[in-house]
Amino acid sequence: MDEQRTDDKNATVDFESESAAEAEAQATTEPVEVLEGEVIEGAEVELLEAPEAEEEAGSIAELEQLRAELVEAQAQATRNLEGWQRAQAAYENYRKRVENEREQWTAEANALLLSRLLPVLDDFERAFGNLPEKAEEVAWMEGMQLVYQKLQRVLALSDVRVIEVEPGVPFDPDFHQAVLSQESEEYAEGEIIAEAQKGYLHGERVLRPSMVVVSKGPGKEEVPEPETTVEDETDSEGGSA
CATH number for the domain spanning 167: value is 2.30.22.10
Task: Summarize pLDDT for 165-182 with one digit per residue, the tens.
Answer: 999 999 999 999 999 999
Query: What span, in angstroms and rounded, lies between the C-alpha atoms of 11 and 164?
Result: 151
| Weakest mean pLDDT among 15-24, 68-77, 85-94, 110-119 | 15-24
What pLDDT digit, counting tens, does each position of 86-101 carry? 999 999 999 999 999 9
As a whole number, mean pLDDT of residues 93-119 equals 92
- Split at pLDDT 50, 70, 90, the class of 20 is low
Please indicate, yes or no, if residue 228 is contained in any of the structural domains: no
Whether residue 98 lies inside any domain: the answer is no
Q: Does 165 reside within a domain?
A: yes
Domain assignment of residue 210, given as a range: 161-219
106 pLDDT above the threshold of 60: yes
Does 211 map to a domain?
yes
Indicate the pLDDT class of residue 33, thresholds 50, 70 and 90: very low
Phi first, then psi: what are they for 191, rounded to 5°? -95, 155
pLDDT in tens, 185-239: 889 999 999 999 999 999 889 999 999 999 988 876 555 555 555 555 555 555 5
Decide if 186 is inside a domain.
yes
Between 87 and 61, the higher pLDDT residue: 87
**What are phi and psi for residue 94, nearest 5 degrees?**
-65, -40
pLDDT band, residue 13 (cuts 50/70/90) = very low
What rounded mean pLDDT belongs to the chain? 78
Overall domain count for the chain: 1
* Domain presence at residue 7: no
**Residue 189: inside a domain:** yes
Contact 114, 206 (CB under 8 A): no
The Cα–Cα gap between 41 and 231 comes to: 166
Classify residue 83: in a domain, yes or no: no
Separation of alpha carbons 99 and 80, rounded Å:
28
Q: How confident is the model at residue 56 (pLDDT cuts 50, 70, 90)?
A: confident
